[in-house]
Amino acid sequence: MIWAKEETLSRDEIEKIQLERLKKTVKRVYEKVPAYRAKMEEAGVTPEDIVTLKDIQKLPFTTKQDMRDNYPYGLFTVPKKELRRIHASSGTTGKPTVVGYTDHDLDIWKECVARLAVAGGATDEDVAQICFGYGMFTGALGLHNGLEKVGATIVPSSTGNTEKQLMYMKDFGTTLLVATPSYAMRIAEVAQQIGIDIKKDLQIKTLLLGSELMTEAMRKELYKVWGEDVNLTQNYGMSELIGPGVSGECLELNGMHINEDHFIAEVIDPNTGEVLAPGEKGELVVTCITKEALPLIRYRTRDITRLMYEPCACGRTTARMENLSGRTDDMLKIRGVNVFPSQIEEVLINTDGIGPNYEIVVERKDHSDILTVKVEVAAEGMMDSYAALEELEDKIKKKLHMMLGLDCKIQLVSPNTLQRFEGKAKRVTDLRKDGI
Ligand SMILES: [Zn+2]
């Protein structure tokens, strides 16, 4: 099923809507936000210069730093009285990134999430359990309100207490699960530990996953535990742009359909800022063209993807973004080589004899970077056989070398000893600032 007619417009129709909305938004920020006006003046561009869609390239980028510099309300285009909700993303250092919504913004948010939920298999028959942390984070309330709009029954169970989550799932007949990929994996692991057979005892038909990158290897693992016939899609968003609702996969699983009547997506070379041709891989830049309170212009997401415009078998005509290959922030430079944690994950998940949880530690010793990958062996018994461990270690080392072109250290540990995550997984520790 397709939720909205806007998902099936012709390219001409989509672009016509985008241009009209872009013009309006640029005028709005120019008139109402001194920081935007100053940046545009510096770039020598006025709202009148936006005549075609391509003219978006004349506009300066907005970055997370702009949000910090204008903390908390400096980039907002409405008075506080018109704000209906505030959300924030946790700042790793200092102040959080604050976002706000008017009534209109909350409505379009619900609409955008409803579309991706339906594209992922949600219906008004579903009992939807939201295992995202509620609070200032946009993920939980975003999916909550969007799925309510679809007509599902919501179980706002949040994160934590995984055994209780499983009890709700079983007793309430949950059919749809919202979680991060790593938490969906954790739930399956706990189910097994407490003797719940996911495929027999639960009724989960649909998993809507988001808020962290899911590699194809991770998807395969999730199918194994949740069943090959479940609807398993991921969706994309970030609080700065709206929260979840920017894009989401349909059941064809060939990229995430972008809600193009609300967002304009571009892909740029992260080093030069130059816009790349369709199909080329680079950093995703998104402009919000319908939001009232905080319509960011050309926001640099730091996520690496490419855009695809070929028609999709599902019937939607909107452009799709390929599943993320990583974030420019996540990219590790190890002895001069670019390494994404997702590449390491892919190797680990495709190796037999080890579990899906891992940790990456980077250190610097004697002026050289050392990359250590810690991973759990699948069965406790393996820890007793030195020969088996050595063989496994060697196998992982060779595979990683093929993928990355680098030598890594492998540290095999006992099952269930690495940290588990209920929200976004934090798998990388970079200790290089402490070494020489
Ligand atoms: Zn599709």
Per residue, what are the HEC states of 86-121? Answer: EEEECCCCCCCEEEEECHHHHHHHHHHHHHHHHHCC
Cα 226 to Cα 161, 231, 352: the distances in Å are 19, 10, 19
Task: Assign domain 1-327 to a CATH class.
Answer: alpha beta
pLDDT of 89 reads 83
Cis upstream peptide for 415 (omega within 30°) = no
Tell me the three state secondary structure of residue 284.
strand
Place of tokens 């055994």: 163
Residue 248's nearest CA partner among 356, 111, 136 is: 111
pLDDT of 93 reads 55
Tens-place pLDDT, residues 383-426: 888 999 999 999 999 999 998 888 999 999 999 999 988 877 88
Q: Identify whether the C-beta of residue 35 lies closer than 8 Å to the C-beta of residue 66.
A: yes
What distance in angstroms lies between residue 316's CA and the mean position of ligand 1's atoms? 5
Look up the CATH architecture of domain 332-434.
2-Layer Sandwich (3.30)
Alpha helices in 100-212 (DSSP H): 103-119, 138-150, 162-172, 181-193, 198-201
Distance of CA 202 to the CA centre of its chain: 26
> Which residues are 153's β-sheet partners?
127
What distance in angstroms lies between residue 115's CA and the mean position of ligand 1's atoms? 12
Q: Which helix (H) or strand (E) holds 424?
A: none
Tens-place pLDDT, residues 119-141: 999 999 999 999 999 999 999 99
What distance in angstroms lies between residue 43's CA and the mean position of ligand 1's atoms? 38
Residue 26's nearest CA partner among 300, 301, 287 is: 287
What distance in angstroms lies between residue 281's CA and the mean position of ligand 1's atoms? 20
What distance in angstroms lies between residue 314's CA and the mean position of ligand 1's atoms? 4
pLDDT of 335 reads 83
State the pTM of this model.
0.85
In one-letter notation, the amino acid at residue 320 is: R
pLDDT of 338 reads 80
Parse the chain into domains and list their residue ranges: 1-327, 332-434
Neighbours of 174 (CB within 10 A): 24
What distance in angstroms lies between residue 107's CA and the mean position of ligand 1's atoms? 24
Compute the distance between CA of residue 323 and CA of residue 225 in angstroms, rounded to an integer.
21
Task: Check the CA dihedral 153-157-162-168 and report its sign.
Answer: negative
Compute the distance between CA of residue 334 and CA of residue 369 in angstroms, rounded to an integer.
6
What distance in angstroms lies between residue 312's CA and the mean position of ligand 1's atoms? 5
What distance in angstroms lies between residue 120's CA and the mean position of ligand 1's atoms? 10
Low-confidence spans in the chain with pLDDT less than 50: none
pLDDT of 92 reads 53
